[in-house]
Structure 1
Amino acid sequence: MQPLISVILPVYNASKFLAEAIDSILAQDFQNFELLIINDGSTDDSQLIINGYSDKRIRVFEKSNGGLIDTLAFGIERSDSLWIARMDADDVALPKRFEIQFQSIADDVAVIGTQASLINEDGVEYGRTKFALNHKDIVVQLENLSSSIIHPSVLINKKMLEKAGGYDPKMHIAEDFDLWLRISKIGKIINIDQPLLKLRKHGSNISATKLDIATDNCLISLAYHYKINSLVIMPEEFYHTVSKKIAMWSKSYKKNVIEWERGKNEIGNNGSFGKIIYLTMHPNLIVNYARIFLSKKKLLDKIKYT
């Protein structure tokens, strides 16, 4: 019987949290899925952990290291379902994730995301997301350069994903932001107002280590969204031409954002009282937030009319 959901789980040197991620998928109340675990050239014990599982729903692949987008494309091409579920090797899916997401499937829906509990490296919860729920508000947030949908939480319509051209290999960071803008032109993007994923934040997250590249790629995607308004992947020439302009425009904004994210992560690792102490000792964090707000507004105005 054809599975209703194909879960794509890319793995690269993820041995520390991998078993917990796999276990959380296998423990789903919704059972009609296949789990494609793709080892993208790991050099740690990831493959040994993967080999320890024997479940008819699991399909294991090993490939040379090609990065996340290459691994996602590899998995999507080999998936047997009409709906693709994303999962990262350091996160934890709650048992009712697929069951609740599947209830929201409709002909005009392209992407179904969820809220998430934020956990630190030790699995301790320190916050929850509160993203927009409906398509219009999600797109407005994207256009405001704001997080609005959690990539490893999503269920994606495979036909719409393929019609939009899939992930752009040029967007080796912030590949999801670019896809959401393109796929939003042919289908709705929605979020379920429940935390159905534990999203792990730690120092090795790509979003933390390469925030400057991610920011530039988001801005390039926005420029393409406004100027071309197409669901087709942007041409190479457009990417390189616009990236030169954005690199000059975004320096101060990115500096402020990186400082803000660093401060947020430090706050997240403290208890409630610790957060108050941190803010008292670091009032510059509030000033930094104001700088981000003002510099982003100027930057987005430039992007809109590039």
Structure 2
Amino acid sequence: MLFTVVIPLYNKAPYIASTLHSVFAQSFEDFEVLVVDDGSKDDGAAVVEQIQDSRLRLIRQANAGVACARNRGIAEARGEWIAFLDGDDWWHPEYLATQRQSMSLFPAVDVVSTGFVSRKDSKDWTPEPWLLPSQDVPRTLVHDLPAQWLRKLSFFTGSVAVRASRLHAMQPCFPEGETNGEDMDLWFRLGEGGAIVTLPLPLVAYRDAASESLSALHNYKGMPPYLTRMQNRALSGNLDAGLARSAMAFVVQEQVSMARRALMAGRRGPAMKWLWSAGKRSLSNKRWWVTLGMTLFVPAKAVAAWRLYCKRRAYRQITDSLPGAPAQD
């Protein structure tokens, strides 16, 4: 069975060599690698060209965005399964082998995923293969992805593999021209069409870019398109009733999160707008009521300090298990 590994590349010259090293170090070796250079302005493509391996192909295109680059990789893929990896992240050597095992255990499933760990951006840190738990970690067959996501299930693009035939039938898979949630859009649409296997084993290391500021991440003027589409599908009557309820609950949760982000930026007006937009479905959401109280009565700096504390605590919980990582500030 052949995997196609799709790696979009844009200005990742300091990282792409170590990313590719993690792919070529896989214990499962039946794969091809497609690096789609999306009009990079640095020497990333030249770094790729210096790597001599018959399984590696470099595709160049004018800058069109990460979604377009991934879709180009899907279109060019020859593998039965397509896995995704960004140009500054890494795989554990057992990543593909573990995904292959999930496929064997659940042959009717089209999407398999693993857990991941997150690290702050550092050009000086390339992880060595980290230790994995000695005991078996159970896999879960997820039929209601929004509900599971609300229970803290999470994966990201670099920890997902999808049957190629499913993706080819959905092209363009990633919504092009969007900069927020284009990957989430695909995962939820895939989840609406069938179960997803999840394995909470950290087999991917994700680089959390230090340059991404709060305002850059959360300066939304409206609901992200992927959430609007999710809401429309939930209200269309075409989804199972339980899945539709979960999808709407997820949308409300995201609206509350956006209200909190606006509040952290000192924007109480937009925060209230997000809370109001959640509508009557929010009245049973405890976070909605807490956020309303914060918006009305708590100073923005106090909210930001609390949020930062929670984020750092969660960050330490998921990264302390990764040996060889630099100490956090």
TM-score computed with the length of structure 2 as normaliser: 0.66
The code of the aligned residue for 1:34 comes to E
Pick the aligned partner of 1:163 from 163, 166, 169. 169
Contact 1:7 1:87 in 2 (8 A): yes
Specify which of 95, 98, 106 is matched with residue 96 of structure 2. 98
CA contact (8 A) 2:19 2:87 kept: yes
Q: Which amino acid aligns with 1:187?
A: G
Whole-angstrom distance in 2 between the partners of 1:114 and 1:38:
24
Q: Tell me the distance in 2 between the aligned counterparts of 1:22 and 1:10.
A: 12
Distance in 2 of aligned mates of 1:100 and 1:61: 28
2:109 & 2:76 partners in 1: Cα distance?
A: 22
Aligned to 2:75: 77
Equivalence for 2:31 = 33
Question: Which secondary structure does the structure 2 equivalent of 1:187 belong to?
Answer: coil
Of all paired residues, the percent bearing the same amino acid is 24
What is the alpha-carbon distance in structure 1 between the residues aligned to residue 32 and residue 93 of structure 2?
A: 16
What is the aligned counterpart of 1:181 among 188, 191, 203? 188
TM-score (norm 1): 0.70
Deviation string for 1:234-276 (max 9, x for gaps)? xxxxxxxxxxxxx99986344257747755565648999xxxx
RMSD (Å) for aligned C-alpha atoms: 3.8
Q: Deviations over 1:24-78 (max 9, x none)?
A: 0011000000000111111112122112101000011111100011001111000
Deviation of 1:200 (Å): 1.3
Instruction: Classify 1:261/1:151 alpha carbon distance in 2 versus 1 (closer, same or farther; 3 Å).
Output: farther
**Cα distance in 1, alignment partners of residues 166 and 55 from structure 2:** 25
**Counterparts in 2 of 1:159 and 1:120: CA distance versus 1, 3 Å:** same
Q: Deviations over 1:156-183 (max 9, x none)?
A: 1122223344222254321121112211
Following superposition, the deviation at residue 101 of structure 1 comes to 0.3
Q: 1:108·1:187 contact (CA, 8 Å) conserved in 2?
A: no
Instruction: Name 1:45's counterpart in structure 2.
Output: 43
SS of the residue corresponding to residue 38 of structure 1 reads: strand
1:119 maps to 119
**1:193-249 deviation digits (Å, cap 9, x = unpaired):** 311111111224599833344973443133123113669xxxxxxxxxxxxxxx999
Are the structure 2 counterparts of residues 45 and 94 from structure 1 closer, same or farther at C-alpha, using a change threshold of 3 Å? same
Query: Judging changes above 3 Å, is the alpha-carbon distance between structure 1 residues 45 and 103 closer, same or farther for their aligned structure 2 residues?
Result: same
| 2:116/2:155 contact within 8 Å kept | no
5+ unaligned residues in a row in structure 1: which ranges? 232-246, 273-277, 279-306
Q: How many residues align?
A: 254
Residue type of the partner of 1:219?
L
Structure-2 change in CA distance of 1:47 and 1:215 (3 Å): same
Give the match for residue 109 of structure 1: 109
Please give the alpha-carbon distance, in whole angstroms, between the structure 2 residues aligned to 1:250 and 1:191: 24
Report the CA distance shift for 1:70/1:269 in structure 2 as closer, same or farther (over 3 A).
same
Rg larger in structure = 2
**Per-residue deviation, 1:93:** 0.4
